[in-house]
Chain A
Amino acid sequence: GENVEQHPSTLSVQEGDSAVIKCTYSDSASNYFPWYKQELGKRPQLIIDIRSNVGEKKDQRIAVTLNKTAKHFSLHITETQPEDSAVYFCAAMVGVTGGGNKLTFGTGTQLKVEL
């Protein structure tokens, strides 16, 4: 099955700096890579996603890059703000026998933006 590894597990940056979180996946059939932000005690919320036919996607301060050959993808947050502090999860989606698609999640990155 799919295996997703995520690094680093914790990341501390100064306000205004950039943050980068990296993930690798094992199944070359994976075709969709969402990123979720989870605040303490809340549900995961999608912040950006990228499909396998795209190499990069940007949404304001957030960008995601995908390297299919190397099977890795990264989240980039620029001009970080205190409200960016949360746990971030990457995930990879692959089709399953019988229909449907399954998401496999990374173990998360605790991002702390310090004033």
Chain B
Amino acid sequence: NAGVTQTPKFRILKIGQSMTLQCTQDMNHNYMYWYRQDPGMGLKLIYYSVGAGITDKGEVPNGYNVSRSTTEDFPLRLELAAPSQTSVYFCASTRYGGYQETQYFGPGTRLLVL
């Protein structure tokens, strides 16, 4: 298994541009999460999904959108990039919803908005 994979690894965006961060897992996990990690800080939850077709907001959802059309994929969309969205983005997944269950993280996408 590849586990949780993310693309791209690094991207530079101009203010106002849009992009999609890709996240795929091959572990047949039902639950998937998007976090952002600002320099010197912990991870903050952006959006999460409990299964295909179901998504919900986390702590910091403004400026982002998600979709979950398949179990494997959970893309994160930035419509109008802003400098405040410069961060490292991590996708994670768990099989049964994470009740006392470990989250598996992808390698991250480093995003710079100029």
Select the stretch in B19-27, B39-47, B63-71, B75-83 that faces chain A: B39-47
| The stretch of A11-19, A62-70, A72-80, A94-102 that contacts the partner chain | A94-102
Q: Is the CB of A103 within 8 A of B98?
A: yes
- Report B58 CB to chain A, min CB distance, Å: 7
Question: Chain B interface residue count: which class?
Answer: 20 to 34
* A89 and B43 contact, Cβ closer than 8 Å, known pairs A99-B50, A99-B97, A100-B97: yes
Chain A: interface size category = 20 to 34
A102 engages B58 (CB within 8 Å): yes
B102:A44 contact, CB within 8 angstroms: no
Check B105–A100 contact: CB distance below 8 A: no
Contact assessment for A101 and B90 in the assembled complex, using a CB-CB cutoff below 8 Å: no
On B, residues with C-beta under 8 Å from A are: 31, 33, 40-45, 48, 50, 54, 56, 58-59, 90, 94, 97-103, 105-108
Binding site for B on A (CB under 8 A): 1, 4, 6, 31-32, 34, 42-46, 49, 51-52, 89, 91, 93, 95-96, 98-108
